[in-house]
A and B are shown apart, each in its own frame.
Chain A
Amino acid sequence: MEVGPDRQDNDERLVARFLQGDESAFDSLVVRHRQGVYRLAYRLLGRHEEADDVAQEAFLRAYRSLRGFRGEATFRTWVTRIVINLALSVRRRRTTSVPLEDAPEPRSDANGPDTALRRQVRKAVGGLPPRQRQVLVLKVYEGMKFTEIAQAAGMSIGTAKATFFQAVRNLRARLAPAAGAQDGEA
């Protein structure tokens, strides 16, 4: 049964309630974070089946490990870290690589004016090294601060910043011809 999110409770309260034995509090945490967890997994992996499996497994791990959650990071950052580690594991296990650009089209760009450039950008992101892609996804899509990225990805703040800049540089290098063509068309 779906449990609607209790907007009065924040994550901290829900975690506390779960630790006191209230299982429905965990259901509320799931409902609150499931879309974000799935989207992050999808952005890191580019496949629905894998993203679904990682999302489910991430919540199962959260359920198992919540007793050890000390609240040093937010629940969201903590779950993000679980997703990142699981996604890394899935990528490592892949026998064939599926680039992000081969994934189904995201819904926002089907008929947009920047369709070609958007496809190029997605392709360039898909070609980034995993760590750079992670940090870029966390920064750009998830809107995380570098301190949160550092916690979620298990790196220092300085490394998170440097990795983000490397990712942007890399992205720019890959996109330079496409951007030039776009500029020429404009």
Chain B
Amino acid sequence: MTTPGCRKARDWAAQMFAGEMEPEARRELDTHLRACPACAAEEENIRRELSLLKTEDPPDPGVPYWSSFSGRLRTRIAAYQRRRRTLRLAVLAAAAVLVAALALLRPRHEVPPRQIAEGPVVERTAPVAGEGQPALPAPEDVTARHPAAARPSPARVPSVAEAEAHLDALLRQAAAEGQAPRDLEVILDEVAPAHPLDGADALGQLSPDDGRSLSEDLLDTQG
């Protein structure tokens, strides 16, 4: 008959096989096994079966496989590095376009709002035309004295190298502030993995959608 002591002993038998058993538990197990032939037989079965597993090796894929392993891995790494460079350039180009678009959308003049509402100060203090003073300048002349009011701000689009330097500075700043300086490419890889396995989080838990590439998701949504 199986008793609670027997159940404990059978767990302990596995633990003993695992090689991580407290000496006190080991003594208690030995005592139980001496008194309980059923558990002793069970312990022997566990030991034999796990030993069979332990001696099994998967089929060796052979010398050609192992000799090509590192080369194939290097090819994958090179492909990853190419993809990483391409992604970096794409992100920087997109950032440059965004900066340019923002610059074009800025207000077209920089005259303070109060002046816009009330007109230039010079107009209020200037003598009335026809009193020997020159006439008020034509609107064109006003804009000539305030070039910013006449044309968009000459915001310069940063070069790719400047944008990249700025990005690196931000990453360094994030690191200095104690934040994890996540690599932009890593973030992008997570968003759009190129390899089907890229969806799996290498170090953390897997979400239900992990392991699917972006292209697979797109195909699914398109039916």
A and B form one complex: yes
Interface residues on B, range: 35 or more
B222 in contact (CB, < 8 A): no
- For residue A93, which residues in chain B have a CB less than 8 angstroms away from its CB? 196, 211-212
- For residue B45, which residues in chain A have a CB less than 8 angstroms away from its CB? 172, 175, 179
Does the CB pair A30–B202 fall under 8 Å?
Answer: no
Of B10, B70, B206, the most chain A CB neighbours within 10 A belong to B70
Interface of B is mostly: helix
Shortest A32–chain B CB gap in Å is 11
Q: Which of B20, B61, B67 contacts A38 (CB 8 A)?
A: B61
Does the CB pair A165–B11 fall under 8 Å?
Answer: yes
Within the assembled complex, what's the spacing in Å between the Cα atoms of A62 and B11?
Answer: 36
Does the CB pair A145–B57 fall under 8 Å?
Answer: no
A109 in contact (CB, < 8 A): yes
Does the CB pair A81–B203 fall under 8 Å?
Answer: yes
Interface positions, chain A 108-130, Cβ under 8 Å from B, are 108-109, 114, 117-118, 121-122, 125
Q: Quick one: given A114-B52, A140-B53, are A2 and B202 in contact (CB under 8 Å)?
A: no
Interface of A is mostly: helix
* Per-position binary interface string of chain B over residues 187-213, scored 1 when its CB falls under 8 Å from any chain A CB and 0 otherwise: 001000001110111111110001110
Q: Which of B18, B189, B197, B201 contacts A57 (CB 8 A)?
A: B197
B14 in contact (CB, < 8 A): yes
Shortest B104–chain A CB gap in Å is 37
Q: Which of A43, A57, A85, A165 contacts B206 (CB 8 A)?
A: A85
Does the CB pair A30–B69 fall under 8 Å?
Answer: yes
Question: What's the count of A-B pairs with C-beta under 8 Å?
Answer: 148
Within the assembled complex, what's the spacing in Å between the Cα atoms of A114 and B58?
Answer: 17
Within the assembled complex, what's the spacing in Å between the Cα atoms of A58 and B202?
Answer: 8
Within the assembled complex, what's the spacing in Å between the Cα atoms of A136 and B59?
Answer: 19
Q: Quick one: given A92-B211, A121-B52, A165-B11, are A27 and B77 in contact (CB under 8 Å)?
A: no
B109 in contact (CB, < 8 A): no
A42 in contact (CB, < 8 A): yes
Q: Quick one: given A48-B61, A54-B197, are A59 and B10 in contact (CB under 8 Å)?
A: no
Does the CB pair B54–A106 fall under 8 Å?
Answer: no
Does the CB pair A90–B197 fall under 8 Å?
Answer: yes
Does the CB pair B20–A106 fall under 8 Å?
Answer: no
Does the CB pair B197–A89 fall under 8 Å?
Answer: yes
A6 in contact (CB, < 8 A): no
Within the assembled complex, what's the spacing in Å between the Cα atoms of A106 and B72?
Answer: 25
Does the CB pair A108–B73 fall under 8 Å?
Answer: no
Within the assembled complex, what's the spacing in Å between the Cα atoms of A140 and B14?
Answer: 10
A88 in contact (CB, < 8 A): yes
Shortest B46–chain A CB gap in Å is 6
Does the CB pair B67–A2 fall under 8 Å?
Answer: yes
Shortest B50–chain A CB gap in Å is 6
Known: A38-B61, A56-B72, A118-B56. 20 other contacts (CB 8 A): A1-B71, A43-B58, A53-B197, A55-B69, A56-B76, A60-B76, A61-B202, A65-B202, A81-B202, A85-B206, A106-B56, A107-B59, A108-B55, A109-B52, A114-B52, A140-B54, A141-B56, A146-B18, A165-B11, A169-B11
Question: Please, could you name 9 A-B residue pairs with CB atoms under 8 Å apart, sorted by A?
Answer: A2-B71, A30-B69, A57-B76, A81-B203, A85-B204, A92-B210, A92-B211, A107-B60, A141-B53
Seen from chain A, the residues whose Cβ lies within 8 Å of a Cβ on chain B are 1-3, 27, 30-31, 34-35, 38-39, 42-43, 48, 51-65, 67-68, 78, 81-82, 85-86, 88-90, 92-93, 103-109, 114, 117-118, 121-122, 125, 136, 139-141, 145-146, 154, 161, 164-165, 168-169, 171-172, 175, 179
6 nearest A-B residue pairs (beta carbon): A89-B211, A89-B200, A168-B14, A42-B58, A61-B202, A106-B56
